Structure 1
Amino acid sequence: MRNRPARLGRRGVRRMLAAALGLTLLAPLVACRATPLAPPGAPTVWPAASARHWQWQWQLTGPVDVTVDADVFLLDPVTTTAAETAALRARHRRLVCQVAVGTYAGTDPDASRWPVAVRGAPVAGRPGSRWLDVRRWDSLAPVLADRFRLCRGKGFGAVALADADAYAHRPGFPISFDDQLLVNRRLAALARSLDLSPGLVDAVPQVAALAPDFDFAVNQECVRRRECARLLPFVDADKPVFHVEYSGDPATFCVTTVGYGFASIRKDRSLDAWREPCPLP
């Protein structure tokens, strides 16, 4: 009977050692799980090994459907709530905010901040929107920086620069191809300075020159427009190309775009929650 307490002590030690060994063996398994995204304010990373394997969602209208089976969500930073971004981040989704950098709408919360001198011609097909004189960097930078800060504050880690091709339209100002290149590079640098990963929306004629400055591309209808090959500078650099078509059979266009290495989906032009993704390679 005197030895019983000693035997119980040894059993307890053995149990403790076994538990410690179990935790040690489990540690590598935990480390192999999906790495959580960095906290708000850190730029999104795009591992080169995953460049051809993303699934994505683009939603600008309606309540955000956080249950969509996609790795990357491109959203409106004004209408998307912090609760929605938090729910998506809890699912380890990568969040990209879409910011218009060459136009503004009269309904924008910051519309009154644009000086009269930079307000240009109406944007075709978008009532209430106007082009901006992107050459006036000193006037644009403070407003756009605050738009980027809104993204960061809501938990986005990347920003997609929309309307970055004023030179190709009739903006009401003599904006040249080189003027646009300069401002787009400045915008990419501004995004990085605010801990956001910059992406280029469309602006296909400038892709070859701008691919080194941006981390990803977003493209609309390169199949219909027959210009998908012009996006290859991103693919060749192992950077994602997030592509959407609004018409056509995915069974047909996916053959082309997945072959190029794009992440492709079919969407309605309203950009609500519905999507039909191309299968991954």
Structure 2
Amino acid sequence: MRRTALACATLLATLVASALAGCTGTPDRPAEGHGTPTSDPAGERWRPRPGLAWQWQLDGKVDPSADVPVYDIDGFENSAADVARLHRDGRKVICYVNVGAWEDFRPDKDAFPRSVLGEPNGWAGERWLDIRRLDVLRPLMERRFDMCRDKGFDAVEPDLVEGYGSDTGFPLTARDQLAYNRMIADIAHERGLSVGLKNDLPQIPHLLADFDFAVNEECAQYDECADLSPFIAAGKAVFHVEYTEPRSSFCAESRRLRLSSMVKRLELDAWRKPC
């Protein structure tokens, strides 16, 4: 989800408070290198390494003109033929799917019962989901990830996986978020898809073993980029964008940290300015 500066600042404050309150005593999976991550019997899913250049376009059909090895595009708005074309050009392709909010413009909108729809999240037509309802949401998300798999995507970018730090209309906790995020990762891995952790910086230590890469918005603007270092240390890519920061203010640090960084417009069209 594209965050405005105000929303970002609010989210940061609430995330810190919730992490301190909710993570205490939470049973965690071991960090990378200290246990067994989610199973992948075939060992065949894509595992992006640090430093890969990427394109992130969520506005409409993909423009395949960017000469980069990784594309992150909307799973509903792009077809199997679009994914196949990118594959023919030698690209890996990530499927953007919103897993934390209901969207009134998606073809499966009527499959979500009203009981799991919470407060508006600030984006037109979207409402937070009650992520405590794993029994309701799991089959819905399985069908969405089936779509990503069937269209030939290599990975999934599940969005809005930090709702516990926002006013969702539900009393969500950090423990609830950990359980939901791990379920999302498991659904992806069961389908041979790699999966990225979107933002949710306070829970990186608890979720590193479950996710294959990270996607981050505006860590430079909020002086958070070092928090993503565990992914890099584990050999996992961090795909990062800034919206308002000039490249001169963060690209040197991004290169030092080995982040895959660029500037994008908030609408996430085809325009990009990489580091």
Identify the residue that residue 88 of structure 1 maps to in structure 2.
86
Do 2:239 and 2:260's aligned partners in 1 also have CA atoms closer than 8 Å? yes
CA distance in 1, matches of 2:144, 2:211: 18
Identify the residue that residue 148 of structure 2 maps to in structure 1.
151
Q: CA deviation at 1:229?
A: 1.1
Identify the residue that residue 11 of structure 1 maps to in structure 2.
none
CA distance in 1, matches of 2:218, 2:190: 31
Compute the RMSD of aligned alpha carbons.
Answer: 1.3
* Gaps in structure 1 of 5+ consecutive residues: 1-41
Q: CA deviation at 1:249?
A: 1.8
Q: CA deviation at 1:63?
A: 3.0
Superposed CA offset, 1:156-199 (max 9, x none): 01001110011010111111001100110111011101111111
Identify the residue that residue 118 of structure 1 maps to in structure 2.
116
Identity of aligned residues (%): 42
Larger radius of gyration: 1
CA distance in 1, matches of 2:259, 2:220: 12
Identify the residue that residue 142 of structure 1 maps to in structure 2.
139
Q: CA deviation at 1:65?
A: 1.4
Superposed CA offset, 1:18-72 (max 9, x none): xxxxxxxxxxxxxxxxxxxxxxxx964226xxx2331100001133111211111
Aligned pairs (5 A) from 1:71-220: 71-124=69-122, 126-220=123-217
CA distance in 2, matches of 1:72, 1:104: 27
CA distance in 2, matches of 1:76, 1:209: 27
Give SS of 2:145's match: helix
Give SS of 1:222's match: coil
Do 1:43 and 1:197's aligned partners in 2 also have CA atoms closer than 8 Å? no
Runs of 4+ deviating beyond 3 Å: none
Higher relative contact order (CA 8 A, sep 6+): 2
Do 1:123 and 1:129's aligned partners in 2 also have CA atoms closer than 8 Å? yes
TM-score by length of 2: 0.82
Do 1:44 and 1:94's aligned partners in 2 also have CA atoms closer than 8 Å? no
User: Which amino acid is the alignment partner of residue 150 of structure 1?
Assistant: M
Superposed CA offset, 1:68-101 (max 9, x none): 1111100001111222111100011011011111
CA distance in 1, matches of 2:57, 2:237: 18
Count residues in correspondence: 233
